[in-house]
């Protein structure tokens, strides 16, 4: 499975850590979207780890934008905890640095 889910409950809000461990391309984003949507309504805060994502294309960026937009609409939080350099480069080249809260780049 390309998506690993770790649920952490605390006093403030239920927190969910998501790790994507494969490329985010047009060939994988539909499955990723389906897996991510299964956990969205049960949590208020999300951390997405993209350290293992070596390749990302515009479909992967669209998935990130759609996830961000949906969570903002629901008044939920999203942090990109760690991103691979190639993901960070694409985020920067699309001018989306301010759109995502990026914790660290490897």
> Taking Cα atoms as reference points, which of 96, 102, 27 lies closest to residue 57?
27
Q: What's the first-to-final CA gap in the chain, in angstroms?
A: 22
> Tokens for 75?
């008044």
Report, in this order, helix, strand and coil percent for the chain, each rounded to 5.
Answer: 35, 25, 40
Prediction pTM value: 0.87
Q: Is the pLDDT of residue 9 over 80?
A: no
> Tokens for 98?
């301010």
Domains assigned to the chain = 3-93 (3.30.750.24)
> Tokens for 31?
């499955």
Write the pLDDT tens digit of every residue in 60-97: 999 999 999 999 999 999 999 999 998 899 899 988 98
For 38, how many CA atoms within 13 A lie in the half-sphere containing its CB? 10
């Amino acid at each position: 499975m390309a998506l690993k889910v770790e649920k952490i409950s605390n006093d403030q809000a239920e927190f969910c850590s998501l790790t994507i461990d494969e490329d985010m391309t047009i060939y994988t984003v539909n499955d990723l979207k389906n897996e991510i949507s299964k956990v969205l309504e049960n949590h208020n805060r999300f951390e997405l780890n993209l350290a293992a994502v070596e390749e990302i294309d515009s479909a992967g960026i669209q998935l990130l934008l759609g996830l961000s937009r949906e969570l903002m609409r629901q008044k939920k939080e999203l942090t990109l905890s760690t991103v691979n350099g190639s993901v960070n480069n694409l985020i920067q080249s699309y001018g989306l640095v301010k759109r995502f809260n990026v914790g660290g780049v490897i």
